[in-house]
Amino acid sequence: MRFTDRTEAGRKLAAVLEPRFRGTDAVVLGLPRGGVPVAFEVARALDAPLDVIVVRKLGVPFQPELAMGAIGEDGVRVINDDVVRLAKVSHAEIAATEAAERAELERRAERFRSGRARVPVEGRTVIIVDDGIATGSTAKAACQVARAHGATRVVVATPVAPPDCQARFAGDADEVICLHQPKEFWAVGQFYVDFTQTSDEEVADLLAAAAAHSGAATAPGDPATVPGNHPGVDEEVAVPVGGVELGGHLCLPPGAAGLVVFVHGSGSSRHSPRNRYVAQVLNGGGLGTLLFDLLTPAEEADRTNVFDIDLLAQRLGSVTAWVSAQPQARGLPIGYFGASTGAAAALWAAAEPDSRVAAIVSRGGRPDLALSRLAEVRAPTLLIVGSRDDVVLELNRRAQSHLRCENRLEVVPGATHLFEEPGTLDQAAALARDWFTSHLATAAPGGTVNR
């Protein structure tokens, strides 16, 4: 068994966990960094809170690879007295090692959560998720720390691990759930087609997306609080376009007011954590979303395709026609959300005479790459740029002067091109949600804007 990537692995793991843990008091804790994309999918399927469990192993001073304990947040410390005694480690040495590791732990926790508080686990079931388990030393430490935080039950869940995985966690985890335990196991990466390293930024974005979803799900009067009002469609799709199939993910809440098609930028894909975060915010606002890959992996290998705005716009038009014909989406007003070069493709496609797109949002986009078509765009267009993204901000100001449709430029204070700064992506997502909910609500069935 090989997984396409961590997202697919997470969804397959979630399918096993959902019947047992959805609707319980479970908290999902991802082991950073690679475990978080897997945990994100699990938490979403279980409708459970998502957090990271940040642990640091305490190594014996003269043999750091030998763990004498572990630390967690809020001063939690777990010590292996046997190792300390046999290695003759003094209290002063333990304190010095802990001080160094705790500084790094606190730095990582702040980086990942962007100022949000840790999700409390006292008295609850904790599901610790990683993208795979090799030695299991970090996951074992996480189990011990979760127990010290007051978790009443600790479950380790992972897509792949060695055959003796359950035995390794005896005494630390109440249960180990694993999808695949091959006899020949050398490294976790051998069981993934795409095992690209997960960045700190992606971890932070996924946690922010989960927190936004959790907040929306509990807001008074929000449709998500109505019993049984879960997304009517939430699935992977394959879109046939010009002899190739493009992978995508379609999410449609029941009673959706419109559907927003995401157009990613160069070097990105439908798995972009930032776009996925924005999509969740839009879903919480009652809007459907379609995230899809503009190019196949083979096509992406030719970098000229990545910047071929005409080609990308044609792909977008074909995908729009396909999704508009799907029974669940038929008649819904369509919006485009474009990032970077994807924004140029969105505007280019919207300038076509037969385009029925009803609203457009560009985040850190390059509308200047569609300059010759901007005067023909009829859909209301919102340009969102970070105040510290100097070059792109100037390009957007110039492009705005060519637009003849309803338009607005919003500058997010303190944001750079990728909106990595705390709170900046939240602001961009909220601006996009408000623009779409306002303009798609006034669109005629099928997408045209009522004037």
The whole-number average pLDDT for the span 381-401 is 96
The whole-number average pLDDT for the span 321-343 is 91
pLDDT at 229: 37
The answer, yes or no, to whether residue 451 has pLDDT greater than 90, is no
**Residue 406, exposed/middle/buried by CB under 10 A (0-12, 13-18, 19+)?**
middle
The answer, yes or no, to whether residue 181 has pLDDT greater than 50, is yes
pLDDT at 161: 94
The answer, yes or no, to whether residue 214 has pLDDT greater than 70, is no
Closest CA to 90 of 113, 62, 110, 66: 62
The whole-number average pLDDT for the span 395-403 is 96
The answer, yes or no, to whether residue 164 has pLDDT greater than 80, is yes
Does the pTM surpass 0.85? The reply is no
pLDDT band at 374 (very low <50, low <70, confident <90, very high): very high
pLDDT band at 233 (very low <50, low <70, confident <90, very high): confident
The whole-number average pLDDT for the span 151-178 is 94
d(CA 404, CA 402): 6
The whole-number average pLDDT for the span 254-264 is 91
pLDDT at 220: 37
Fill in the amino acid letter for 136: G
pLDDT at 444: 52
Phi-psi region of 69 (alpha: psi -120 to 50; beta: other; left: phi over 0): left
What percentage of the chain carries pLDDT values higher than 90? 53
The answer, yes or no, to whether residue 227 has pLDDT greater than 70, is no
Indicate the average pLDDT of the chain. 88
The whole-number average pLDDT for the span 104-128 is 89
pLDDT at 446: 53
Task: Tell the residue number behind the tokens 């637009």, with chain if given.
Answer: 403
The whole-number average pLDDT for the span 107-111 is 88
pLDDT at 217: 43
Alpha-carbon distances, residue 407 vs 152, 359, 384, 400, 439 (angstroms): 54, 10, 11, 8, 12
- Phi–psi pair at 42, nearest 5 degrees: -65, -50
d(CA 204, CA 193): 24
The answer, yes or no, to whether residue 448 has pLDDT greater than 70, is no
Tens of pLDDT, residues 410-440 = 999 999 998 988 889 999 999 999 999 989 8
The whole-number average pLDDT for the span 221-227 is 36
The whole-number average pLDDT for the span 121-141 is 90
The whole-number average pLDDT for the span 32-42 is 94
d(CA 44, CA 48): 7
- Do the beta carbons of residue 335 and residue 258 sit within 8 Å? yes
- Do the beta carbons of residue 260 and residue 282 sit within 8 Å? yes
pLDDT at 221: 38
